Amino acid sequence: MIVFVTGATGFIGSASVSHLIARGHRVLGLTRSEAGAAALRQAGATPHPGTLADHESLRAGVRQADGVLHLAFDHDFTRFREACAMDKAAIEVMCGELIGSNRPFIASSGVGLLAPGQVVTEDTAPRPVSDAFPRFSEQVPMTFLDRGVAAAAVRFAPSVHGREKQGLVTGLIRVARQKGVSAYVGDGSNRWPAVEQQDAAELCALAIERGEPGALWHAVAEEGIPVRLIAEAIARGLGVPTVSKAPAQASEHFGGWLANFVGQSMPASSRKTREKLRWQPRGVGLIQDLDAILAAA
C-alpha cells in the first residue's frame, strides 16, 4: 500500500513510518520543514510538503494514497479549541477526498477522560463534543462511513512512552524538576494506562492494513498504573521526595492543563484490539522505562 501519514515526523508518527516501511508499504509523509523531509528520506519515506491548514496539500496527498494514517495534532493546550477546529477541518478535507473509494482512514484519538473512573473498552462510545471538550477526532471520520470511507480510529493511552517522550508523564517529570518534589493527588490510587512507542506504532500499521470500517482500536499495553507509583519512579530518578497534594492544590502545583488530568483515573482495556489484530505489546512497562530513562539523564 501507499500510506499517506500526517504527523509523520512526530513521536508516534516517525515510529509508525518505520513500521509501515518494514512491513513492505510505501509512505508519503506530510512535513512542514526541510529537516522533516530529510528525516523522512532517511527513513525510506517520500516527503510531502504541507500542513494541516494547507488543504490542497492534504487533498494531493490523499489522492496518491491507498490509505491515510492521520496522526498530526497540535498539542498546545493553551490553544486547544483552535487546534480542534483545525483538526476537524483537515479530517473533513481528507475524508472528503476518500468518498466512494472504500480506502481506510485511521484517525488518532485517546482513551483519556472518555469515561473517568471506569475501564474504557473498544465498545465505549466517543465522548460527546461540547464547549468543554471540542475535539472531533473520532466523531467526524465516522460520519463518512456511509459515504464509502473505511474510517476507524486508534485510541492511544495518555502515556505513550519512549526515550524521547512519555506522554502525560513528561509533564509530571517537568513539574518535579521545577518544584523539587514528585507529586500525586490524594492517595495516588487513580490509574493511567500506558503503551511503549514501538508497540503503539505497530498497532497503527495493523490498523491501516486491516481497514475495518468503524473500528476503535486501543493502543494500551498496561491497563492502569497507579499515579503514586509513577510519581515514586520519578522521585527515584530525580532524587527528590514524593508528596501528596490535595485536589484543591492540584491547579497551583501542576498548573494549567496537567492539573485537569493528574487526579483523574482513566484505565483502559485493549482485549478486543489484541484478539482481532493479533497485537501483542512487547515493549517494557512504563515504570521500568522511567527507571532507565531517568537513570541515564
Assess contact for 154 and 204: CB atoms under 8 A. yes
pTM exceeds 0.85 for this model: yes
Give bridge partners of residue 243 from the DSSP assignment: 183
- Which cell goes with 123? 465498545
Residue 254 to residue 182: CA distance in whole angstroms: 10
Residue 188 to residue 206: CA distance in whole angstroms: 34
pLDDT at position 191, please? 97
Higher-confidence residue: 132 or 213?
Answer: 213
Least confident of 3-12, 14-23, 111-120, 162-171: 111-120
In this predicted structure, the answer to whether residue 33 has a pLDDT above a threshold of 70 is yes
pLDDT at position 256, please? 78
pLDDT at position 132, please? 67
Q: DSSP secondary structure string, 159-204?
A: EEESSS--THHHHHHHHHHHHSSEEEETTS--EEEEEEHHHHHHHH
pLDDT at position 297, please? 77
The whole-chain average pLDDT of the chain stands at 95
Domain boundaries, the chain: 2-159+195-221, 162-194+223-267+283-296
Domain 2-159+195-221 CATH assignment equals 3.40.30.10: no
Rounded average pLDDT over 218-225: 98
Q: Convert the pLDDT of each residue in 108-132 to its tens digit.
A: 999 987 888 899 999 998 887 777 6
Q: Convert the pLDDT of each residue in 36-52 to its tens digit.
A: 999 999 999 999 999 99
The fold adopted by the segment(s) 162-194+223-267+283-296 is UDP-galactose 4-epimerase; domain 1 (3.90.25)
